[in-house]
Amino acid sequence: MKRKPLHNIYSKDILRKKLESETFRRTTVSFYKYVILEDPQALRNALYRNWDDLGVLGRIYIAREGINAQLCVPEHNFQSFRDSIDSIPEFKNVPFKIALEENSPSFLKLDIRVRSKIVADGLEEDSFDVANVGTHLNAEEFNHKLGSPNTVLVDVRNHYESEIGHFEGAILPQSDTFREELPLIVDLLQDKKDKEIVMYCTGGIRCEKASAYLKHHGFHNVYQLHGGIISYASEVKEKGLESKFKGKNFVFDGRLQEAIGQEILSECHQCNNKSDRHVNCANPGCHILFIQCESCSEKFSGCCSEECKSIISLPVSEQKKLRKGKIVSNQHFSKSRIRPKIFELYKGN
């Protein structure tokens, strides 16, 4: 009997049609764990076989240092999925973070990749004790800390995440990547080693590394929001606490964001009117992530510029010629850097 392939074999159009035809609901969940895995590749293959049979979709990174997973699971298979996690000794009882809302499909396919690290931090292995992390705070404890004048609050996310939503009063490092942010945070906090440093991120995983990194650099009073913004939002709702988070939480799946506060903190990158609507440029040769209001979306046909708008009006064959040899990946609009023609990425200038 021929075994099923251990990777996706369908086009985006087919995957989208399959998703649209589903008659059941899905639950979006994320989890991570730093734990030594002896054979990441073998584990990857076993997980793919099991989760593909359960209809799980998502993006999962596995490395020798652990696992980082964002998935959406058919509701009728959720317990079987939970059981599959608990059957692996290294992952037994790992906490799940459940999304608050489902306003659009979060994933189209199951994608499990083996990497050198589960979060790219640019740091040498064994350069510091990654297990020496900050003190974890639940939502109530976190809110209490925010009321103290001795607290310095730090957002451990990229600029395009904090732009649409953050805790009021937080330091918002203007970095494009986590690897850029770690040394930047140390520099920003050099004169605050006598303060209580409280950190937060999307789901908690980046704070695990960041808090240990700060402690390595001589910070002693380091705290982190347990489970990140995702768990905070759920706990606040469950316990009836006051939410200190303003705006939307950026998420790394097809939804791009989920509403936590009602405020709109950011502006359209094209007209500067209030907007928190993240989109990718409709020109596949650009695909830059940026904030675009509905009016500019209509004006620019979902593109970031007139140049990209003119390109998507060309025949598909001509568009492919323009894209040939160009690599477009993880590009984000950044006001923190000077780029004369920031959106003309596909031209290779």
Structural domain range at position 174 = 135-239
**Catalytic-role residue among 201, 293, 296, 304:** 201
Residues 148 and 204 in one domain: yes
Count of residues making up the chain: 349
Residues 38 and 110 in one domain: yes
CB 81 within 8 A of CB 54: yes
Which regions in the chain score pLDDT beneath 50?
336-349
Domain stop point among 213, 239, 265: 239
Residues 63 and 149 in one domain: no
Residues 232 and 150 in one domain: yes
CATH number assigned to the domain comprising residue 191: 3.40.250.10
E strand segments, 118-226: 135-137, 151-155, 165-167, 196-200, 222-225
| CA–CA gap between residue 253 and residue 284 (Å, rounded) | 18
Place of tokens 């490092």: 173
Which pLDDT value is given to residue 340?
34
Which pLDDT value is given to residue 27?
92
The distance in angstroms from the start CA to the end CA of the chain is: 51
Q: What is the tally of structural domains in the chain?
A: 3
Residues 36 and 86 in one domain: yes
Element (H, E) at 290: strand 289-291
Which pLDDT value is given to residue 327?
60
CATH number assigned to the domain comprising residue 61: 3.30.70.100
Residues 166 and 93 in one domain: no
Residues 214 and 153 in one domain: yes
> Tokens in use for 6?
């251990």
Residues 101 and 160 in one domain: no
pLDDT digits over 3-29, tens only?
677 888 888 889 989 999 999 999 999
Residues 213 and 172 in one domain: yes
Which pLDDT value is given to residue 344?
41
Give Rg (Cα) of the chain: 21
Residues 161 and 202 in one domain: yes
Residues 230 and 156 in one domain: yes
Q: Which residues neighbour 80 within 8 Å (Cβ) at sequence distance 6 or greater?
A: 54
**Angle in degrees, CA 256, 100, 182, rounded to 5:** 55
Which pLDDT value is given to residue 239?
95
Which pLDDT value is given to residue 300?
96
- Catalytic, 201? Answer yes
Cβ–Cβ contacts within 10 Å for residue 92, how many? 10
In a domain, 285, yes or no: yes
Residues 34 and 107 in one domain: yes
SS3 for 269?
coil
